[in-house]
């Protein structure tokens, strides 16, 4: 049989193929160790720092890959590992699925809420900015909750078909293997107290500062970051560094407060109300009625 010459077409010019994310146990452990280091540098609770270090050591010592555990038993298999609760299991799952961790991006100074929301298929930058502005949403877990509880339907541009697509995309990205539950939101009084602590300590120069990657051409460490607790809930707070916050001159007013839950990372935005009965006072965006009720209760007590 004569030899057959196969001529391959020339490689197409264009953007280079993006390398697949590293989701090996070594990469996951390294990310968890970096979280611990950055939390320690930013003066977070030592027990929280140690929890991430312990998780990194646990992942590094596994005899099988995290991906193998997830394929066999889902996120429940991770929660059965020593010292790995629901929060850490969710973060390990996120790293195994995407090679990235929202928490780590933020600790590095690169967190962009609008960019995170816009990365979901069917959302994009314009709708992401609209969701962030109208609902105060800054995390994928909160976007997923809004897609299920009806809030996303109140945002122009989100019809039933688009919302169904967002739900499916987030279920795949966040690795939902069980029914989405309802987690209680922090009380507005608690969120406003975190807001008060942040603003007072930032004004006094008592907080560590990070250098955000966006809108920071001089790479200056100007953005104060607060790690604090209320009961058993951990909070991270920092001023908004979105394009809209810069455009409206609100980078020293809008405060994004993150807390971690079993379903993922959640965020609330506290701003100074520009109109209405709470004008001039601090409110949690999307929960203005609760803030007004709290104000009335404090005035009558």
- Boundaries of every domain in the chain: 25-100, 113-173, 188-300
Q: What is the chain's mean pLDDT, rounded?
A: 85
Q: In the block, which residue shows the tokens 């051409």?
A: 217
Compare 75 and 20 and report the one with higher pLDDT: 75
Provide mean pLDDT across the span 177-184. Answer: 52
- The yes or no reply on domain 25-100 and CATH 1.10.287.3510 is no
Q: What's the pLDDT band for 179 if we cut at 50, 70, 90?
A: very low
79 HSE (CA, 13 A, CB side)? 10
Mean pLDDT value across residues 244-256:
90
Architecture of domain 113-173: Orthogonal Bundle (1.10)
The pLDDT score that the predictor gives to residue 206 is 95
Q: What pTM, to 2 d.p., does this model score?
A: 0.70
Would 25-100 and 113-173 be classified into the same CATH topology? yes
- The answer to whether residues 106 and 236 touch, using CB atoms and an 8 Å cutoff, is yes
pLDDT at 58 over 70: yes
Residue 284 pLDDT > 90: yes
81-86 mean pLDDT:
88
Digit-coded pLDDT (tens) for 113-137: 788 888 888 898 899 989 888 887 8
In this prediction, residue 6 has a pLDDT band, given cuts at 50, 70 and 90, of: very low
pLDDT category of residue 232 using cuts at 50, 70 and 90: confident
Residue 111, pLDDT score: 67
- pLDDT band, very low/low/confident/very high, at 215 (cuts 50, 70, 90): confident
- For 15-34, write each residue's pLDDT tens digit: 545 567 788 999 999 999 99
Q: How confident is the model at residue 178 (pLDDT cuts 50, 70, 90)?
A: very low
């Amino acid at each position: 049989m004569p030899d057959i010459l196969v001529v391959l077409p020339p490689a197409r010019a264009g953007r280079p193929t993006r390398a697949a994310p590293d989701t090996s146990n070594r990469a996951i452990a390294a990310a968890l160790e970096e979280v611990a280091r950055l939390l320690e540098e930013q003066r977070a609770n030592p027990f929280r720092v140690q929890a991430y270090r312990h998780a990194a050591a646990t992942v590094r010592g596994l005899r099988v890959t995290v991906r193998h555990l997830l394929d066999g038993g889902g996120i429940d298999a991770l929660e059965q590992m020593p010292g790995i609760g629901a929060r850490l299991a969710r973060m390990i799952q996120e790293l195994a699925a995407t090679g990235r961790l929202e928490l780590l991006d933020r600790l590095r100074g690169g967190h962009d809420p609008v960019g995170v929301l816009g990365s979901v298929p069917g959302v994009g930058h314009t709708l992401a900015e609209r969701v962030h502005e109208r609902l105060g949403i800054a995390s994928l877990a909160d976007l997923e909750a809004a897609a299920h509880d009806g809030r996303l339907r109140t945002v122009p541009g989100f019809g039933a078909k688009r919302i169904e697509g967002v739900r499916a995309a987030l279920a795949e990205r966040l690795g939902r293997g069980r029914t989405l539950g309802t987690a209680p939101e922090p009380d507005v009084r608690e969120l406003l107290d975190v807001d008060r602590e942040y603003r007072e300590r930032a004004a006094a120069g008592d907080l560590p500062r990070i250098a955000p990657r966006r809108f920071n051409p001089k790479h200056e460490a100007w953005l104060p970051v607060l790690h604090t607790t209320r009961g058993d809930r951990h909070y991270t707070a920092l001023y908004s560094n979105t394009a809209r916050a810069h455009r409206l001159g609100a980078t020293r007013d809008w405060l994004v407060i993150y807390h971690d839950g079993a379903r993922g990372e959640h965020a609330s935005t506290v701003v100074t109300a520009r109109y209405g009965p709470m004008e001039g006072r601090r409110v949690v965006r999307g929960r203005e009625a609760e803030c007004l009720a709290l104000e009335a209760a404090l005035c009558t007590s």
